[in-house]
Structure formats: C-alpha cells, structure tokens
Amino acid sequence: MGGTSTGVGGRTAEGIPRARRRARFLGLLGAVFRGGTASAAVGVLLLAVGLVTLFASNALPSIQRFGFGFLTSAQWDLRLNEFGAGPAVVGTFLTSALALLFAVPVGLGVALFSSEIAPRRLRLPLAYFVDLGAAIPSVVYGFWALEVLKPVMETTIEPRLASVTGGRFLFSGLPGGLDMLTASAILGIMVVPTIAAFSREALRLVPRQQRESALSLGATRWEATRMAVLGPAAPGIAGAIVLGLGRAIGETIAVALVIGGAYRVPTSLLSPGATIPSTLVNGFLGSYGLERSALFELCLLLLAISLAINVGARLLMHRIDPASRLASPTPAKKRRMRPVHHVARSLESPTLPPLAWWPSLAARQDARRLRRKVVHGIVVVLVVGAVVVAAYPLASVLVTVVGNGGAAVVRPSFYTSEFPAPCGLNQTACPIGGIGPAIQGTVVLLALAAAFGLPVGLLAGIYLSEYGRNRFGRAVGFAIDVLVGVPSILIGAFVFALFLQFDRFDARTALAGGVALGLLMIPIVAKATQTSLQTVPVALRDSALALGFPRHRVTVRVVLGNCRSALVTGNLLAVMRAGGEAAALLVTAGSSQYWLMSLRSPTAALAPFIFLALTNSSSPNLTTDAWGAALVLLLIMAGISLAARLVLRTESVPAPE
C-alpha cells in the first residue's frame, strides 16, 4: 500500500528521471567539450588561412606596382619608391646553402655517433647537450657571433681563404667579418643541433633486430649501420636536412647581426648582404606606404618558401618504413652479393681442387678483413671529429656568456633596476643599471601568451587525437605542421598587420607582443598534445568506454591522465620557444626603457633588449647589461629544458576513474 513502486532493474520510479537527467547532463557536457576542441581546431585553421589572406591583402599595392619584376629587381630605394626582392632572395638561399654544406656532414656525424657508435653511458648526456644547442635563443647565438666569431673570421679565416684564391672568385674583396660568409657560418652552427636531433630520432626508429642481424653475420658496427640502418632511415634523415634548411631560411636575429645589412646582390662571400628575414626585421621598424607593402610581399614570399620546405620535410619523414626497405634487395646490395655467389659456385665445382683456390681465397679474406677494420676506424674518427666540431661552438657560447655576464647577474640590483643611461667609450665611470623592465616585460608577455596559447593548443591537439579522423581533422593537422615551421618573424608581421586595423599609427604594444607569442605557442602545444595522446593504447580507451563512461570523461580522466608528463613537457617547450623570441617582439611589442604601466604601450623584453643594445648603442655599460641579460635568458632556457627532461623521465600515474 504505502511502498514505492519499482521499475526495470529494481530502480525506483523517482530514480529513473534522475538517471535520465544525469545522462542528458553528461551528454551536454560531452557536446560542449567536443565543441570546444573543434572551436580550437577551427581557430588554428583560421590562423593559417589568415596568414596568407592578410599578407596578400597588404602586399597587393606592391604586387600591382611591380609584378613579377619584384622577384628580380635589386633596388630598394625610398626616394624613387622602387623595391625589389632580388638581393634578399639571393642572400637567403646563398647563406642557407653554405650553412647546409657545413651542418649536414657535422650533424649526421653527431647523429651516427650518438645513436650507433657511442657507449651507452655517453648517449644520453650527448643528446642533452645537442638539444641544449637547439634551445639556445638565436639572439644569444648572434651576440656570440658578433663578439667572438666575427673577429676570428676577420683576422684569421677570411684572410687565409682570400690568400688561397689570390683574392679572386668567391673570396674577392676585403675581409670585414660582417659578411655573407660569417652569416653562413653562424647559420651552420645553429642548424647542426636541428639536423643532429631529427637524424638521431630517425636512426633510432630502425628496429634493433636489424642491427643485431648484421652484427651476428660478422659485420663491423659501421657496416651494420650502413647496410641495415641508413637505408631505412634515409627518408627521416632527408626530412631532418630539409627541416634544417627551413630553420636556416627563416633565421632572423643572428643573421641580421652579422650579415652587414647591405641591400645588394653579393659579388663574393666576403661582401655584406641581406636575407629576407633580416630585411623584414630591420624594415618594419620605420616603414610606411609602398615600402611596407613591399615588406608584406616579402612576407608572402618567405611564407611560400617555408610552406614548400616544411611540406617536403613532412612527406619525407612519413616515408620511414624499415620493413618495406628490407623486403627486396636493392641493385647496390645485389652487386655486393656477386662475389659471395661466385665463391659459392666455385665451392660447388667438382673440377677445381680445394688446395688450388683455398690459399688465394684466405689471403683475400685477410686483406678484406684488414680493409674493413681500417674503414671502421676512419669512420669512428670522422664521427668523433664531427662531435668535437659541433660541441666546440656550443661550449664557446656557454663559456663566453658566463664569463661576460657573470659579474652582472650576481648583483641583486641587476634584476630590479632600470636600464643604465648610455655613456661614451672614453668615459671612465659609467653608471651600472639593470634589466628590471625587461624581466617585467618578459613575464607579462609570457603570461599573456600562455593565457590563451596553451589552452587553445591543448584543445586543438585533443581534437586531432580523439575526434579528428576526418577531412577536417587532416586539414587542421596539415595547418599545424605548417605553422610549426613558419618563421617567427612572419607571426610578428601577421600580428602587426592585424593590430594596424585598430591603430593606423603604431601597433607595437605589450598586448600585440603577447598575442604574437601566444600564436607561436599554439602549434607547438597542439602538435605535442596530439603526439602524446596518440601514444595511449586504444585498448585503454575501449575498456573505459565499455564500463559506461562517456567519451569526454574517458579523454579527460584516462587519456590525459596517462600522458601528463608529455603534456607538461610540450607546454614547457612552448614557453621556452616564446621566452627566447626576439624577432616577433621587435615587430609587435616595440621597445621601452621604462617599467610597463599599460598593455597598450610598448614594453621591453629580454631578447629584444639584447638585440637593440648591440645594434643601436656602443655604450659599454649597455653591452655589459646585454651580456647579463643573455646569461639570464640562457639560464632560463637551460632550466626549462632540464625541467622538461625530468618530467619526461617521471612515469605518469593513471588518474583514478
């Protein structure tokens, strides 16, 4: 009489509506979660489309005025309103090609040593050291090149090269240190860690069984690497070289400091010149009218070059398939096998007495064994030499920065004082200031960037991994791959053009700088998130779904919980990338000598301060402050890199369900 009625499965009548409401609520949460990830993915796609659209619209006056002649014209004359990209294009490709001539053999040697030849206890420290070289900001490399590499090139290397050729051909002219050769040298030094790191990972993707099979047949370590590893890893190595080329073509700050800044087609490697990125970073600071339109056409040209390079690199990297390359012998392998087949046929011949051929065969085998050992020893010497060549500039950078900036960073007032007033070279007592405004500006810019860059990148990566198995997802993934390799100066120019729509006079503010750094973070975080989530086994997702958990809870609690370390590492790498940025901030955030009071005013930051202290002033106290800022920036990058390594080594504990 007074009891409650029961329904299916023993549920009370009151419990059924409650369960339905909970199911509808969870369904709504799932729809909101998927909609949020899809919105972030749409934002990434719009960013890629916006780059092309905004550059094209701003470059339209220049395109209409100069047409295809813009690509070949060597003029950049403000009085005549005549602009051309010829010297910048020639300088970009020339310095990049020379950089690869140095970086490819050295980078491959480092990768072979760290992956195949080095003792196991040395491989991890060597990988850390190489990765640290890739993490050093370009402005620090440029500072080192200006203070250390330039004098060596001017007084030692360039005069000797000129004397060898008699001052003709590629080395005609007077050695000056600020020229195409020095710019190519610093580019090569900067590209080595990129090629070495990606080539090392391509070599490590080859299964260990292939090496062991070759070694078990009597091959030396180098023969096993050459026959069983280099072939399957060749597409990945080619992709690493192409990515290194993209890094060289897009490099801005280091090249701008040492290339000389002469806008003309170089007649020799000792001539000063210009590249597309160096022209952009120097030109945007005071451009207007048709010149600004021509600079945006340079942006469009650099974007097209970067797009072609990055697409080619991705296609090559995706072709790594060790199994398919071992399925059938190549023509070269068949030629190497002919002597073996010839010996086998001679052994089967009943007409040849054993004692007639055996001594000759044994002598040939002894000579061949000795030749193999000699070749192996030569290869070991070469790859060890490559490691020394790659490590010396990096060690020199660290020692130089610590030696020149150590005295400044130990002063507590260095972190809280304003910049010092410039003083002359002959002045005996120069006021010693600090980098307080630069530290404040860097913190504010990174906070603004992280506030939207990290969550948008995280949501976009989740969409690609969990919901992006469709055409739209493939389009977003392609856009992210392209944005990861876009030069930072292009992101700065994009934000500059975007903010010009709201302020026609000057768009350089702290807010614009924060937006630029945030846009740099988004593709890095998205790619790291996608890669991390794809490592979680599908069976783990299916098990949680089979227990009745909704899709969004499985993603948040199970999938994200099992790759927390990798996600934190991706975010740290994005912050490190933004923290050392100078080119984009020079275009968007401007510069200031004072403390930041408003987001709508220009601001100082560590990396731009170093660049401006070197290019706009010869004051010794500002140079000392710049060395101290470089050391602080280097310590920040090293700390973030170390934290990322420690987080990666920490095993993730699955989140409770």
Secondary element (H or E) of residue 76? strand 76-77
Do 505 and 602 have their domain in common? yes
Do 58 and 79 have their domain in common? no
What lies within 8 Å, CB to CB, of 496 at 6+ separation is: 284, 507, 508, 512, 587, 588
pLDDT of residue 347: 45
In this model, does residue 432 exceed pLDDT 80? no
Do 528 and 585 have their domain in common? yes
For the beta carbon of residue 35, count every other beta carbon within 10 angstroms: 10
pLDDT of residue 327: 40
Per the domain annotation, does 3 fall within a domain?
no
Query: Higher model confidence: residue 226 or residue 451?
Result: 451
The predicted-structure confidence for 289-337, as pLDDT tens digits, reads as follows 888 999 999 999 999 988 888 777 777 666 654 444 444 445 554 454 4
Q: What is the C-alpha separation between 321 and 330, in angstroms, rounded? A: 15
Per the domain annotation, does 350 fall within a domain?
no
In this model, does residue 489 exceed pLDDT 60? yes
pLDDT of residue 652: 39
pLDDT of residue 55: 93
Query: Higher model confidence: residue 429 or residue 474?
Result: 474
Do 196 and 260 have their domain in common? yes
* Domain assignment of residue 279, given as a range: 73-326+368-401
Query: Higher model confidence: residue 355 or residue 146?
Result: 146
The predicted-structure confidence for 499-538, as pLDDT tens digits, reads as follows 988 877 678 899 999 999 999 999 989 988 888 887 777 7
Domain finish residue from 357, 376, 401: 401
Domain finish residue from 401, 426, 459: 401
pTM for the model: 0.83
Per the domain annotation, does 446 fall within a domain?
yes
**Would you place residue 90 in the very low, low, confident or very high pLDDT band (cuts 50, 70, 90)?**
very high
In this model, does residue 338 exceed pLDDT 60? no
- Burial class, 572, CB count within 10 angstroms (exposed 0-12 / middle 13-18 / buried 19+): buried
- Burial class, 58, CB count within 10 angstroms (exposed 0-12 / middle 13-18 / buried 19+): buried
pLDDT of residue 603: 92
In this model, does residue 639 exceed pLDDT 80? yes
Do 560 and 489 have their domain in common? yes
Q: What is the C-alpha separation between 22 and 24, in angstroms, rounded? A: 5
Report long-range pairs for 229-232 (Cβ below 8 Å, ≥24 apart). Answer: 229/116, 229/203, 231/325, 231/330, 232/205, 232/206, 232/320, 232/321, 232/322, 232/325, 232/326
Distances (CA, A) of 59 to 62, 69, 343, 486: 5, 14, 69, 18
| Tokens encoding 650 | 């920490």
Do 253 and 283 have their domain in common? yes
Per the domain annotation, does 356 fall within a domain?
no
pLDDT of residue 325: 43
**Would you place residue 438 in the very low, low, confident or very high pLDDT band (cuts 50, 70, 90)?**
very high
Do 194 and 260 have their domain in common? yes
pLDDT of residue 320: 52
In this model, does residue 425 exceed pLDDT 60? no
What share of the chain in percent tops pLDDT 70? 86
Rounded mean pLDDT, 368-393:
86
**Would you place residue 342 in the very low, low, confident or very high pLDDT band (cuts 50, 70, 90)?**
very low
Do 133 and 268 have their domain in common? yes
Query: Higher model confidence: residue 368 or residue 392?
Result: 392
Per the domain annotation, does 392 fall within a domain?
yes
Do 376 and 448 have their domain in common? no
pLDDT of residue 439: 93
pLDDT of residue 657: 34
In this model, does residue 105 exceed pLDDT 70? yes
Do 449 and 376 have their domain in common? no
Secondary element (H or E) of residue 174? none
Q: In whole numbers, what is the pLDDT of the chain averaged over residues?
A: 82
Q: What is the C-alpha separation between 131 and 139, in angstroms, rounded? A: 17
Per the domain annotation, does 98 fall within a domain?
yes
Domain count within the chain? 2
**Would you place residue 175 in the very low, low, confident or very high pLDDT band (cuts 50, 70, 90)?**
confident
**CATH classification of the domain holding 480:** 1.10.3720.10
pLDDT of residue 573: 81
Do 37 and 185 have their domain in common? no
Per the domain annotation, does 548 fall within a domain?
yes
Do 61 and 96 have their domain in common? no
Per the domain annotation, does 113 fall within a domain?
yes
pLDDT of residue 429: 66
In this model, does residue 3 exceed pLDDT 60? no
In this model, does residue 39 exceed pLDDT 60? yes
pLDDT of residue 324: 41
Q: What is the C-alpha separation between 183 and 278, in angstroms, rounded? A: 11
Rounded mean pLDDT, 485-495:
91
**CA-closest candidate to residue 398, choices 106, 144, 582:** 144
The predicted-structure confidence for 185-221, as pLDDT tens digits, reads as follows 999 999 998 888 888 888 887 888 887 887 787 777 8
Q: What is the C-alpha separation between 157 and 148, in angstroms, rounded? A: 13
The predicted-structure confidence for 550-607, as pLDDT tens digits, reads as follows 777 888 788 887 777 778 878 888 888 888 888 999 999 988 888 999 888 999 999 9
Rounded mean pLDDT, 391-419:
89
